[in-house]
Amino acid sequence: MYELIGVTKQYRRGQQRVDALAGVDLTLAQGDRLVIQGPTGGGKSTLLQMLGGLDRPTSGKVLLDGIDLAALSERRLTAVRGQNIGFVFQSFNLIPTLTAQENVETALVPLGGRPAERRDRAAEALESVGLGERRGHLPSELSGGQQQRVAIARALVKRPKVLLADEPTGNLDESMRDEIVELLEGLWQEHGLTFVMVTHDSAIARRAPRLATIRKGRITIKENRAAAGENRSASPDPVDA
Amino acid sequence: MFFTYLRRELRRRRKAALVVASGLALGIALVIVVNSVSSGMNQAQGKVLESLYGLGTDLTVTKAQERPEDGAAPQRPRFEFKGKEEGEEQSSDRLMVQGFQTLADSTVATVGRQPGVDRAVGGLSLVNLKINGEFARGKIQRAQPQPAQPGTGNGGTGNGGSGGGSGPGDTVTGGGAAFDVDSFTLYGTDVTAPDLGPLTTSTVSQGRTFKTTETDAKVAVVDSAYAQKQGLALGDELTVKGVKFEVIGIATADRGQAAAQVYLPLKQAQTLSASAAEITTIYVKATDSTRIDAVKTAIQKNVTGTTVTTSADLAQTVSGSLDTASDLASDVGKWLSYAVLLAAVLVAGLLTSSAVTRRVREFGTLKALGWTSGRVTRQVVGEALVNGVIGGALGIAVGLAGAYAVTAASPTLTAELGSSGGAFGGGRGGMIFGGGPAGTAAGKTVDIALSAPVSVTTVGLAVLLALGGGLVAGAFGAWRASRLRPADALRRVE
Ligand SMILES: Nc1ncnc2c1ncn2[C@@H]1O[C@H](COP(=O)(O)OP(=O)(O)O)[C@@H](O)[C@H]1O
Ligand SMILES: [Mg+2]
């Protein structure tokens, strides 16, 4: 499904050049689950942006089902994001003026379709994250955990192939973290998604079948034999960089 | 989604929206008030001009000023006092054409046939000058040729200068005179057209006006001020150059001074002044009052030797507080209101743009969800447009209230009409006023109450400005929004 070949990303900060990604190779199969760890500033978010088509690499290829996202036009790339990729952010990134229901609907806007159909699908998605009763609430009227559930419903309502989560529990209390992680893992299993999650939570990392660590823009991948049973479609030869 | 999102955003950011909207509102209200006051000024000027020419006159046609031939003195009245003994009382009664320039009667019909002319009516403006007094004859010295002195006749008091018979270069010494001058203005009106021409500036307050059959009757309508001064009443007899006329009506000027002191049927005026089949001014009503300039051009082209004067031309001779206020409204006021509006639009733009900056993460998230740049931009522009519409509505309300307040207060403005060259109406005066009732127009002062009528055009302009302002503000935001990278959504919260 995913094949990253020699991906680099450089940022310019004044005169300084920052190598956020310094040559990353990575292969992910459909249904894979990858957990990414690493120090702050290591390049985790940058890698997620490459996977999600939010930004283009400085060099290298990001193949999604054989299509190089780095070479797509802005319009095509936007369409790929709209159809295939679901995002969950650390700070939820809900639209503060829209209700839970409307926030979920925003993900369906790029797909077109009738408003009534959008409403039904959004309601269904909210039901599946256990927030059926809170549809009409504004984000400010929901707890952090509930807001992140809305964000998860928003990411999954369009039934994407890929779910990308950047520290989804980073802004949550300990009690809510497990709840959210369980929800994400459950949904991953249920929908057969390719799921990439950045986390600082070592408990989660320990459970992950494949664990990537990014340090100074370089990636190392470790198969976790203890959790291997959970990995339904392990990639035969993980690439180290 | 577009409208839901729009509604929610505007409700949440009420305060910011209100700031943007009130800025635009202020600018738009100013534009409305200034525009309305300005058109009130125009109306006031129109009323002033109406008091000169009468209702319905769009333009006047007079004989083109002939350039005086080289060396020839400009035409001026001549008085001859001959064959009388020194010290004997003498008197002269002269009836002169105002401006000395006349057109043939037939020109009225020619002008009437021009495209865009609804009706044309001719009239004859005259000045009657009666002089009574004594002369001491001076001695003429023909020794030294000297440059000609300009004749008498400026302002109506003689000084016993070069009378008839003395040649250029001669000097008169020892001459002297003491005499009274009594002058009044006459207007020969076309009685068959009672609704066009100078008489329409007055209302007949006693008696009646001319019947359309009284084309050559010995009847007169007298201005009330003159009647009072001369002790004339209805039914009295008025003598002009030895001819007696019955006073059938007393007319009162609607505004300021009357166009003439005595009105006679045109034919009578022509006979008295020995200018048969001649007129001084043609009063023209156009079929379409918005196409007066075209009519002016047509007449000037097709009827040679004429000067065509429109209300707009006349307006340039108006001075006084009306003129000052009018200049203020049309120059400073307009400039100021547009400057305020421009500032408001810029502020609205900057606020919109900074609002987008504050919402970087929000728009970045939407882009990450697959919203196109266009969709995000539309949202931003939509919000700015609604701000513009709210500002426009507010501005129109405030502007209408302001215009209403001006109309309610109706401050009085004074208009002075450009002065012409004294009682004789002279060449110069004739030029400005087209040889019309020049004498009476001289230094004429009219008081006008100012109103501020709001036209549909003004409101339409305000709506356009509001939408334009909203669009410009939106463009600022759109420019900012279109440059957002979806990756911004993933940025850490600062
Ligand atoms: N937009 C940007 N401009 C400049 N430097 C950036 C930008 N985004 C990230 N970086 C830099 O790239 C490096 C990797 O950042 P990031 O991928 O966010 O790290 P992580 O998510 O692992 O904390 C850091 O040094 C960061 O400062
Ligand atoms: Mg990060």
* Whole-angstrom Cα Rg for chain B: 33
| pLDDT band at A15; cut points 50, 70, 90 | confident
Comparing A29-43, A53-67, B371-385, B463-477, the range with the smallest average pLDDT is B463-477
Nearest chain A CA: its distance from B18 CA (Å): 17
Query: What are the distances in angstroms from CA A60 to CA A8, A14, A21, B209?
Result: 6, 24, 11, 101
pLDDT the model gives residue A234: 43
pLDDT the model gives residue B79: 57
Q: What is the pLDDT of residues A31-59, one digit of tens each?
A: 999 999 999 999 999 999 999 999 999 99
Q: What is the mean pLDDT of residues B369-398?
A: 90
Query: What are the distances in angstroms from CA B116 to CA B50, B60, B290, B293?
Result: 20, 14, 10, 10
With a CB cutoff of 8 Å and minimum separation 6, the contacts of B52 are B198, B201, B259, B314, B417, B433, B436, B437, B441, B444
Centroid of ligand 2 to alpha carbon of A108 (angstroms): 26
Identify the CA nearest to B107 among candidates B401, B305, B338: B305
| pLDDT band at A135; cut points 50, 70, 90 | very high
Q: Output DSSP code: residue B320.
A: S
Percent above pLDDT 70 for chain A = 93
State the CATH number of the domain containing residue A43: 3.40.50.300
Does A241 have pLDDT greater than 50? no
Centroid of ligand 2 to alpha carbon of B361 (angstroms): 15
Bridge pairing between strands B219-223 and B262-265: antiparallel
HEC string for B286-308 = ECCCCCHHHHHHHHHHHCCCEEE
Nearest chain B CA: its distance from A125 CA (Å): 16
* More confidently predicted of B139 and B237: B237
* A105 within a domain of the structure (yes/no): yes
* More confidently predicted of B64 and A191: A191
B120: left (phi over 0), alpha (psi -120 to 50) or beta: beta
The residue written with tokens 């599946």 in the block is: A128
B56: left (phi over 0), alpha (psi -120 to 50) or beta: left
Judged by DSSP in three states, B467 sits in helix
- The domain limits of chain B are 2-54+320-493, 59-66+90-132+179-313
Cβ B370–A75 below 8 Å, yes or no?
no
Q: What share of chain A is helix, strand, coil (3-state, %, to 5)?
A: 40, 25, 35
* More confidently predicted of B400 and B476: B400
Does A151 have pLDDT greater than 60? yes
Q: What is the pLDDT of residues B5-45, one digit of tens each?
A: 999 988 887 888 888 888 888 888 888 888 888 888 777 77
Does B493 have pLDDT greater than 60? no
Q: Considering only the beta carbons, identify the residue of A54, A81, A95 that sits closest to B490.
A: A54
Q: Residue A61 is inside which H or E element, if any? A: strand A59-64
* More confidently predicted of B69 and B399: B399
Amino acid at B410: S
* A65 within a domain of the structure (yes/no): no
- The C-alpha atoms of residue A187 and residue B426 are separated, in whole angstroms, by 103
Q: Please state, rounded to an integer, the average pLDDT across all residues of chain A.
A: 89
Does B146 have pLDDT greater than 50? no
Q: Please state, rounded to an integer, the average pLDDT across all residues of chain B.
A: 76
Q: Which two tokens stand for residue A5?
A: 């070949």
pLDDT the model gives residue A175: 83
* A186 within a domain of the structure (yes/no): yes
Which residues partner with A34 through β-bridges?
A196
Q: What is the mean pLDDT of residues A225-234?
A: 51
Q: Is residue A159 less than 8 Å (CB to CB) from chain B?
A: no
* A59 within a domain of the structure (yes/no): no
Q: What is the pLDDT of residues B196-232, one digit of tens each?
A: 888 888 888 889 999 988 988 999 999 998 999 888 8
pLDDT the model gives residue B76: 58
- The C-alpha atoms of residue A90 and residue B23 are separated, in whole angstroms, by 39
Contact B448, B412 (CB under 8 A): yes
Contact B188, B269 (CB under 8 A): yes
Contact B415, B323 (CB under 8 A): yes
Find which of A75, A109, A148 to mutate to test the B interface (most B CBs within 10 Å of its CB): A109
Nearest chain A CA: its distance from B386 CA (Å): 17
pTM of the model: 0.64
Nearest chain B CA: its distance from A179 CA (Å): 23
pLDDT the model gives residue B202: 84
| Number of domains comprising chain A | 1
pLDDT the model gives residue B173: 58
* More confidently predicted of B385 and B328: B385
> How many residues are present in chain A?
241
Centroid of ligand 1 to alpha carbon of A11 (angstroms): 8
| pLDDT band at A156; cut points 50, 70, 90 | very high
Q: What is the mean pLDDT of residues B239-243?
A: 85
Q: What is the mean pLDDT of residues A178-202?
A: 90
Report the chain A residue with the minimal C-alpha distance to residue B488: A54
Report the chain B residue with the minimal C-alpha distance to residue A75: B372
| Buried-exposed string B185-196: b where 16+ CB fall within 10 A, e elsewhere | bbbbbbbebeeb
Q: Which two tokens stand for residue B179?
A: 């005499």
The C-alpha angle B293, B296, B302, rounded to 5 degrees, equals 140
For B242-373, strand residue ranges (E) read 243-253, 262-265, 278-279, 281-286, 306-310, 318-319
pLDDT the model gives residue B182: 77
Q: Is residue A52 less than 8 Å (CB to CB) from chain B?
A: yes
For residue A157, what are the domain limits?
31-52+73-229
Q: ipTM higher than 0.95?
A: no
* More confidently predicted of B77 and A160: A160
pLDDT the model gives residue B437: 40
| pLDDT band at B147; cut points 50, 70, 90 | very low
pLDDT the model gives residue A109: 95
Cβ A105–B1 below 8 Å, yes or no?
yes
Q: Which of B261-265, B274-278, B302-306 has the highest mean pLDDT?
A: B261-265
Contact A163, A193 (CB under 8 A): yes
Q: Which residues of chain B are within 8 Å of residue A154 when distances are taken between CB atoms?
A: 369
| pLDDT band at B142; cut points 50, 70, 90 | low
Q: Which residues of chain A are within 8 Å of residue B382 when distances are taken between CB atoms?
A: none
Cβ A89–B487 below 8 Å, yes or no?
no
pLDDT the model gives residue B325: 72
Does B84 have pLDDT greater than 60? no
Q: What is the mean pLDDT of residues B469-478?
A: 85
Bridge pairing between strands A210-215 and A218-223: antiparallel
Judged by DSSP in three states, A150 sits in helix
- The C-alpha atoms of residue A202 and residue A221 are separated, in whole angstroms, by 15
Cβ A96–B366 below 8 Å, yes or no?
no
Bridge pairing between strands B117-136 and A194-198: unpaired
Comparing A176-180, B294-298, B308-312, the range with the smallest average pLDDT is B308-312
Q: What is the pLDDT of residues B265-277, one digit of tens each?
A: 999 999 888 888 8
Contact B260, B196 (CB under 8 A): no
Does B449 have pLDDT greater than 70? yes
Does B130 have pLDDT greater than 90? no
Q: Considering only the beta carbons, identify the residue of A54, A98, A166 that sits closest to B8.
A: A98
- The C-alpha atoms of residue B457 and residue B465 are separated, in whole angstroms, by 12
Cβ B361–A93 below 8 Å, yes or no?
yes
| pLDDT band at B89; cut points 50, 70, 90 | low
